[in-house]
């Protein structure tokens, strides 16, 4: 008779994702996941593999779920610079207030951690960065069409700068940066694209 799981793998993975996100991969051991989920090590290993496989699955879950909450609206918003402003406002609010305040972004955290030595993890990070940059670039092209950019503003370069700024917001918020200062920095960066800086 096949072995029947007596737990919800999705719920266990969500718990593991939150642990890795809040604590970081290096600071989260399998015993932490065991304690948080109430599962045995053997159940975790049988379902997900070792710690590295569990971390990869958790990172993918974050990338497909949590990232969508921030990037999805930007990708679907054709207003140009107002869409960029709205994205950064959501980003700063998400990183500095509410249940996940000061956790940063699991993707940005991984860029700064030893876990990015894993090629499979790096592939997820690169995919997410390309998605972020592409969404910003699309918004900047809309801004160009709408006459919102300065004549000398280059959407390609600006998308790179704003993508790096988004990672900076994620990392600085995790370190306890003041949300007002983050907002002022973002406003200055976007205003510079209009020629008003």
Domain boundaries, the chain: 9-57, 65-193
Does 9-57 carry CATH code 3.20.10.10? no
Alpha-carbon distance of 96 to 101, in angstroms, equals 5
Block residue for tokens 């956790």: 103
pLDDT per residue over 140-164, tens digit each?
999 999 999 999 999 999 999 999 9
Segments in the chain below pLDDT 50: 1-4
Alpha-carbon distance of 59 to 24, in angstroms, equals 11
Alpha-carbon distance of 152 to 42, in angstroms, equals 59
Please tell me the CATH code under which domain 65-193 is placed.
1.10.357.10
Note the pLDDT of residue 1: 36
Report the predicted TM-score, pTM, of the whole model to 2 decimal places.
0.92
DSSP state of 146: T
Note the pLDDT of residue 2: 39
Give the pair of three-digit tokens for residue 50.
């070792």
Alpha-carbon distance of 179 to 192, in angstroms, equals 20
């Amino acid at each position: 008779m096949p072995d029947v799981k007596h737990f919800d793998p999705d719920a266990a993975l969500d718990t593991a994702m939150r642990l890795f996100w809040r604590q970081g991969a290096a600071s989260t051991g399998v015993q932490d996941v065991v304690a948080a989920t109430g599962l045995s090590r053997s159940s975790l290993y049988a379902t997900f593999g070792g710690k590295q496989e569990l971390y990869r699955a958790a990172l993918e879950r974050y990338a497909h779920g949590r990232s969508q909450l921030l990037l999805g609206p930007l990708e679907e918003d054709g207003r140009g610079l107002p869409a960029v402003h709205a994205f950064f406002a959501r980003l700063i609010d998400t990183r500095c207030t509410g249940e996940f305040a000061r956790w940063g972004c699991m993707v940005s955290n991984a860029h700064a951690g030893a876990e990015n030595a894993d090629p499979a993890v790096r592939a997820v990070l690169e995919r997410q960065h390309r998605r972020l940059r592409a969404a910003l670039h699309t918004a900047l092209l809309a801004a160009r069409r709408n006459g919102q950019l300065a004549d000398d503003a280059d959407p390609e370069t600006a998308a790179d700068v704003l993508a790096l700024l988004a990672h900076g917001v994620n990392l600085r918020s995790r370190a306890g940066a003041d949300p007002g200062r983050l907002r002022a920095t973002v406003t200055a960066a976007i205003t510079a694209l209009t020629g008003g800086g």
